[in-house]
Amino acid sequence: MVNIEDLREKNCIIFECITGSRAYGLDLPHSDTDIRGVFVMPKEKYFGMEYIPQVSNESNDIVFYELGRFIELLSKNNPNILEMLNVEETLVIYRDPIFDRIKSDMFLSKLCAETFVHYAASQIKKARGLNKKIVNPVEPERKTPLNFCFVTHEQGALPFINWLKTNDKKADQCGIINVPHIKELFALFYDESGKLGYKGLLSGSNANEVQMSSIPKGEKPIAYLHFSKDTYTQHCKQYKEYWEWVDNRNEERYNNTMSHNKNYDSKNMMHTFRLLDMAEDLLKDGKIVVKRPNREELLKIRSGDFDFNDLLDKAEAKIERLAELKNSSKLPDIPNMKIIETLLVNMRMAFYK
């Protein structure tokens, strides 16, 4: 397996630069430094069976793309990859002369109207996703199947736990058996003496199902119990997803979202407008402007100064504007793939020579 250090030692890296917020001019004192670059597979591995399209570190803030993959993404007008060709020169860490053969004009096309909007829409979706997690937090302790059991009571039903308290009953003296032909319905029995050997409803603290007991012949059920298994399964899924999100979330972004009390990820929304503005520049002027001239406006979005629905309306208006600009743009509909393929072949041959 090839890693970043291997690439450095074998002089396979042909380009390396700083990207992300520092390239956009949107960095704050606590911002991370993102590094992206391009490498060429060692010749023996490229012609062998170990082709690797990209390599990254554990935190994924340093990513290198193999030349073939890089050219492929450029031809698709991938926003993150196009930015790499247009960062300010002060942010370029290393550039091999071979890399200078790659020119933005070879790749820029009307495809950007779709790719930049697609990326912007994904940022909106992420902002809404965080909103769901914040608005609907999950308790630290996972519920048990007992929380999803209900006992018939008069003309309705009581939660099993409430039923125990109301009737002064003990859970471990209860026993249940299936009611034939009716899914998730059980006859509920109770052993006042505690000598009949009823097992209770759970086999242990980690049980995910209710358990049956052996009921002596002639015993009469005191009620009927329903276990809502589907609802319990859904709870377990939400519990797992929520606490995995808590473990992996970016605390700075989460705290920022909580502080402005708008219940959406404002950093995602900032990038939504950055992407839409960059697409407009590209369609109008035919160039990528990575460092954004409207830093203050974008940082106000990040600070949560605006209502989410207002931002959504504004974004939709920008997307409609991009559709108009696409029709009038002088950019080609798609890149010339013959020129791009020739470029890739020549670059690889020059590197291996």
Residue-level pLDDT at 45: 85
Rounded mean pLDDT, 322-349: 95
Q: Which residue has the higher pLDDT, 123 or 85?
A: 85
Question: In this structure, are residues 79 and 275 in contact, taking their beta carbons and an 8 Å threshold?
Answer: yes
Question: In this structure, are residues 41 and 52 in contact, taking their beta carbons and an 8 Å threshold?
Answer: yes
Tens digits of per-residue pLDDT, 221-272?
999 999 999 999 999 998 888 777 677 765 555 555 444 556 677 888 999 9
Asked if the model's pLDDT at residue 124 lies above 80, the reply is: yes
62-66 and 34-39 strand pairing: parallel
Q: Which residue has the higher pLDDT, 106 or 304?
A: 106
Question: In this structure, are residues 190 and 174 in contact, taking their beta carbons and an 8 Å threshold?
Answer: yes
Using a pLDDT cut of 70, give the percent of the chain over it: 92
Tens digits of per-residue pLDDT, 25-80?
999 988 889 999 999 998 888 888 888 999 999 888 999 999 999 999 999 999 99
Classify burial at 116, counting beta carbons within 10 Å of its beta carbon; exposed 0-12, middle 13-18, buried 19 or more. Answer: buried
Q: Which fold has domain 1-107+335-353?
A: Beta Polymerase; domain 2 (3.30.460)
Q: Which two tokens stand for residue 28?
A: 């704050």
Residue-level pLDDT at 205: 85
Residue-level pLDDT at 60: 87
92-95 and 62-66 strand pairing: unpaired
Asked if the model's pLDDT at residue 217 lies above 70, the reply is: yes
Query: How confident is the prediction for the chain on average, in pLDDT?
Result: 90
Asked if the model's pLDDT at residue 10 lies above 50, the reply is: yes
Residue-level pLDDT at 258: 46
Q: Where in the chain is the domain with CATH 3.30.460?
A: 1-107+335-353
Tens digits of per-residue pLDDT, 311-322?
989 999 999 999
Residue-level pLDDT at 154: 86
Using a pLDDT cut of 90, give the percent of the chain over it: 69
Q: Is the dihedral of CA 262, 263, 266, 272 positive or negative?
A: negative
CA–chain centroid gap for 57, Å, is 18
Rounded mean pLDDT, 206-234: 94
Q: Which residue has the higher pLDDT, 304 or 227?
A: 227
